[in-house]
Structure 1
């Protein structure tokens, strides 16, 4: 649990480059939800620090509702998963579950969004990047990445305006922290899970000349890890976002192989939400495409077994934007 706690400690070494976020998503019936709790330059040493909650609700056949709330302060616990970010946050519900809550307002319509959810882990955590991994072009830049709930059962409620929705579905939660220029590196990622089968898949890929891949599967009580050149991610189809005029991948194809397993997977994007994290010029802003996707694949054991999966999950793609 301590690994999912708040990690920032001012040490006068690149404190202005410190980033930490906790990400949660959920799928319930035909709706999807995600939220970021973001700390970027927590002491605001650059004047561009961000203490933000970014959330979105996606209902089939309706425009997404995207909420942003900028906080004036925050509180965290270094020994347990607890964060208070100005009427939003999370805390332990019991020995393993998290209560996740918050509020924001849609940037276009002003529609208020609030959530009060319980995340109960269905599989154990996976430390995708357990040591300080170099990331970005800033000297000494590094990050860690913990998939704290690669698969979760999620219950509770979402409120949009005056409408209240019951949530009873599947979810995911991860946590990243480190010291790097947030608007510098490009990432792609994918995630899906089937809690009743004890299956989850988490993929993260640092793009560009620093390209590195991290892929973990939880299945039948074991953790199957692929990394580095064992993972090949190709983006084979693209689309244009009318809101930002930027291009994003709409189909991902993954082949991963280690000594014991072979994975073939495709992710076809069904919904895309652009999130902009703004920086003052001349620095680039940071564009985050959050996507709901259909993930299909086969995991082959070299002992002759195979497991097929077909699940709705999430993918994502980030890029700097001038």
Structure 2
């Protein structure tokens, strides 16, 4: 496995982690909000009525990790008919709090709390609100320590904990005063780091979804030029709630149909593919772009002198989030033995300048 991912006994000791268990405190606050650090708790859901929901509690905008605590709420809903409502609401620093022994994040009256098994997400932004419960169906998982490490002394970190790789969602969501019952499948992860992301990560593709009996979480993370654009592939595949593959070194990442997005100017793949091979077994997990559910130029989330400085520096980072089918095809000795397709969510976060 690539040495950018902390896998050694020394790495586990450094981060205070156990190789064979995940504790509730790992989903609690892992930073102290000082300049240079960032942290967010992410949730998404595919509902049975066709709606998609994404909620993120962030201690800072992604492009402003070098600044002080400046929390914000991201709340996005795509209705069954395709109408998309995307809200980003900033808050004052004193409106933010996060427990350290488990996930309990408060942002004004909004709250994101849970214990690795069950979570309650309550959030309101404009004419959109959600009150949802997520109950895990697959145990928490992380790739080794969950920390990517950079720098000469491996002192720079980007960490990721999929606290609920897949769970059942219930509750309700409200749009324009109309409340609808919610049921479906969901996901929650937690990210944090001690260096602004754009200094170590050039771009990444990330995806998660369920197709038939399979659940997949996958990411392909490309470092900045300073780290020779070295890639790391992270991959987890479960069948019927049991993890059957999570070794990224056995996975080949591929893209198809790359085009330049007119709104952000970023190169975007119309499809991504993770090919897992182990002996006679080959499993192909692919994600196809069907609909854009959020397109954000990160400079637009800045204000004042920070925005002006970012523009002068040529910063043009962007987030593009998509829905579309996830397909899992299982081969044994070259023959297809399973094939499943269902809706999924995936994204491209592109922080560096376009690679030519």
TM-score of the two chains, using structure 1 as the length reference: 0.84
Change (3 A) 1:164 1:247: farther
Of 260, 264, 279 in structure 1, the residue corresponding to residue 284 of structure 2 is 264
**Cross-structure match for 1:134:** 149
**Cross-structure match for 1:91:** 113
Conserved 8 A contact 1:119-1:155: yes
What are the within-5 Å matches in structure 2 for residues 164-313 of structure 1? 164-184=179-199, 185=201, 186-193=203-210, 197=213, 199-208=214-223, 209-258=229-278, 261-272=281-292, 273-278=294-299, 279=302, 280=306, 281-282=309-310, 283=313, 284-300=315-331, 306-313=337-344
Conserved 8 A contact 1:17-1:41: no
Q: CA deviation at 1:48?
A: 6.3
Q: CA deviation at 1:171?
A: 0.9
Aligned residues: 307
Conserved 8 A contact 1:75-1:85: yes
Task: Give the CA RMSD over aligned residues.
Answer: 3.0
**Cross-structure match for 1:102:** 123
Conserved 8 A contact 1:294-1:312: yes
Structure 1 runs not aligned, ≥5 long: 106-111
Structure 1 stretch displaced more, 274-283 or 145-154: 274-283
User: Higher strand share goes to which structure?
Assistant: 1
C-alpha distance in 1, partners of 2:151/2:209? 27
C-alpha distance in 1, partners of 2:261/2:151? 25
Structure 2 runs not aligned, ≥5 long: 1-23, 224-228
Cα offsets for 1:141-198 (capped at 9, x unmatched): 211211111111101111112222221111111111111213342110111025x84x
Conserved 8 A contact 1:141-1:181: no
C-alpha distance in 1, partners of 2:277/2:147? 24
**Residue 26 in structure 1 maps to residue 45 in structure 2:** yes
C-alpha distance in 2, partners of 1:305/1:253? 17
SS of 1:127's equivalent in the other structure is coil
Structure 1 stretch displaced more, 257-266 or 175-184: 257-266
Structure 1 stretch displaced more, 239-248 or 250-259: 239-248
What are the within-5 Å matches in structure 2 for residues 143-158 of structure 1? 143-158=158-173
Q: CA deviation at 1:84?
A: 0.3
Cα offsets for 1:76-124 (capped at 9, x unmatched): 11111110012222123x883111011113xxxxxx2111100011111
C-alpha distance in 1, partners of 2:332/2:243? 13
Q: CA deviation at 1:139?
A: 7.9
Q: CA deviation at 1:125?
A: 1.0
Of 15, 20, 30 in structure 2, the residue corresponding to residue 7 of structure 1 is 30
Change (3 A) 1:75 1:165: same
Q: CA deviation at 1:7?
A: 1.3
SS of 2:71's equivalent in the other structure is strand
User: Higher helix share goes to which structure?
Assistant: 2
Structure 1 stretch displaced more, 112-121 or 243-252: 243-252
SS of 2:341's equivalent in the other structure is strand
**Residue 71 in structure 1 maps to residue 91 in structure 2:** yes
C-alpha distance in 2, partners of 1:153/1:96? 11
Conserved 8 A contact 1:226-1:257: no
Structure 1 stretch displaced more, 167-176 or 270-279: 270-279
C-alpha distance in 2, partners of 1:210/1:305? 33
C-alpha distance in 1, partners of 2:53/2:152? 32
